[in-house]
Amino acid sequence: MSAEPDRGPAAVITPGNGSGGGPGDGAGGARPLPAGLSWRADTRQWLVHSHDLADVVLRDPHVGMELAPDRVPVPLPTPDEVPSVAQFFELWYQRGANQPAFGRHLRRAYAPAAVAGFAAGFAELAERRAAALSGAGDLVTDFVEPFCLDSTLLLMGFPPDRWPALAKVYRIVMSVILARSRGVLDLPARQAAAFTTALRYLRTAVDELTAGAAVTPVVASFQAHAETEGPNPWADVAAVAQLLAAGVPQVTTGTAVACRCAYGDPALLAALREGTADTADVAEEAMRLAPPFLGVYGWVLADCDCLGVPLRPGEAVVVDIVAVNRDPNRMADPLAFCPGRSRSLNITFGKGAHYCLGAASARLQVVAGLVGLVGSRGIHPDVSGFRLADDGFAQTVRAFPYGMGGG
């Protein structure tokens, strides 16, 4: 699962100014906007709330994920220098959606056929994590997040003996990303030192990974890019960090909301254990109602009127995933949990040019986590204690208490 991490302050996705006029309005006053579209003046964003308009804008070539045209690049580090926070994010941006050559290699690595072979490994990891639970605790920290991180590292090709240290690296990097989302680049000395140490370790692990055989399609994608474009080890490090940050928290949320739905309905839980309910359908519907990412963010790249109003280069367009996934004009009873709905009703993973790179692997991971947990009959999650936080950009699971007892 992926999204562009830095588009300025995250918009809280609400209708904002309703159907009022957009930026082209002058003294003539506001004009009606097409149904499903609103303009948020304080953040200067077009907000898309309907399935019909989302179908249009997510496929229109005039709206893309390129960086803002007025953005000033940051000088990059040499191979022997550890990147500063600002340089790390510059490497992140340049190697991410804004470097098509790398994107082509990576899309092949995350294609459904490429990741299908990891399903058994994901299932084994989930079963092992579930079997290790004992006493009482929080499923987020004891099962869901560790499983999602381990399965992602497996997909990337890192050897298991590096996973504990990489888990620490991941948490340090995520703390820096959180600080960055709040506009903080000058870290306290202790956090800055930890970040430098984490990047050095990650560089060693990535260099080791890419120097050997192509043990996974992800490794092959990094090696293929280096062969065609030349080696850039710090950009590789930033890309690995981006894949972790854009995947692990979102797969964690997806797995947790799927498990909440299962344990919140005794009949569904029994059907899953009996094999009469489809775990993939349950996971898909859970993520339709509680998508990890709240929006798909893009920029207008050239003048167009694909949304029924004039769009100008540089304006932001946000597709409200929650609203679109609950569009009453596309589905009956949109707030009801109904496994088996068509996937076309669910834009949790985006669509068209904005389709999530890791959608296929994320779906496999969420299903494996759900199967692993519900298969362990001695685990009793407390659905009433489930907590999901919303920062206006993403939903993050904060708590899911559990106890142990007889099946």
The per-residue pLDDT string of the chain (407 residues; one tens digit each, 9 = 90 and over) reads 333 333 332 333 443 344 445 665 533 345 689 999 999 888 889 999 999 999 999 999 999 865 555 667 889 999 999 999 999 988 988 886 556 778 889 999 999 999 999 999 999 999 999 999 989 999 999 999 999 999 999 999 999 999 999 999 999 999 999 888 888 888 999 999 999 999 999 999 999 999 999 999 999 999 999 999 899 999 999 999 999 998 999 999 999 999 999 999 999 999 999 999 999 999 999 999 999 999 998 889 899 999 999 999 888 999 999 999 999 999 999 999 999 999 999 999 998 878 898 999 999 999 999 999 999 999 999 999 999 998 888 999 999 999 998 76
Instruction: Please name the helix (run of DSSP H) or strand (run of DSSP E) that holds residue 388, with its range, or none.
Output: strand 387-390
Rounded-to-integer distance, Cα 71 and Cα 140, Å:
37
Distances 266 to 195, 283, 334, 339 between C-alpha atoms, Å: 45, 16, 22, 15
What's the count of helices (H) and strands (E) in the chain, helices before strands? 15, 10
The pLDDT assigned to 43 comes to 81
CA-CA distance, 228 to 214, in Å (whole number)?
16
Which residues are registered as beta bridge partners of 379?
Answer: 404
Q: Are 217 and 108 in contact (CB under 8 A)?
A: yes
**What are 11-51's pLDDT values in tens digits?**
334 433 444 456 655 333 456 899 999 998 888 899 999 99
Spell out the residues 6+ positions from residue 44 whose beta carbon is closer than 8 angstroms to its own.
23, 315, 316
pLDDT of residue 341: 94
φ and ψ of 400, to 5 deg: -155, 80
Express each pLDDT in 136-157 by its tens digit: 999 999 999 999 999 999 999 9
How many Cβ atoms sit within 10 Å of the Cβ of residue 131?
13
In 184-307, which ranges are E strands?
A: 295-300
Residues in the chain: 407
Cα–Cα distance, 144 to 156 (Å, whole number)? 18
Asked if 297 and 321 count as a contact pair (C-beta separation under 8 A), the reply is: no
Q: What does DSSP assign to residue 394?
A: B
Q: Which class in CATH covers the domain with range 81-291+355-404?
A: mainly alpha
Checking phi first, is residue 123 left (phi over 0); if not, alpha (psi -120 to 50) or beta? Answer: alpha
Type of residue found at 280? A
pLDDT of 17 reads 40
- Domain residue limits, the chain: 81-291+355-404
| Helix pair 85-95, 233-263: axis angle to 10 deg | 80
| Whole-number pLDDT of residue 170 | 97
Evaluate whether 75 touches 94 at the Cβ level (below 8 Å): no
In this prediction, residue 393 carries a pLDDT of: 84
pLDDT (0 to 100) of residue 70: 64
pLDDT of residue 100: 74
Q: Tell me which amino acid residue 360 is.
A: A
3/312 Cα distance (integer angstroms): 22
Which residue, 65, 223, 80, 112, is CA-closest to 157? 223
Helix H or strand E encompassing 48: strand 45-48
Amino acid (1-letter code) at residue 2:
S
Task: Look at residue 4 in the predicted model and tell me its pLDDT.
Answer: 34
pTM for the full predicted model: 0.90
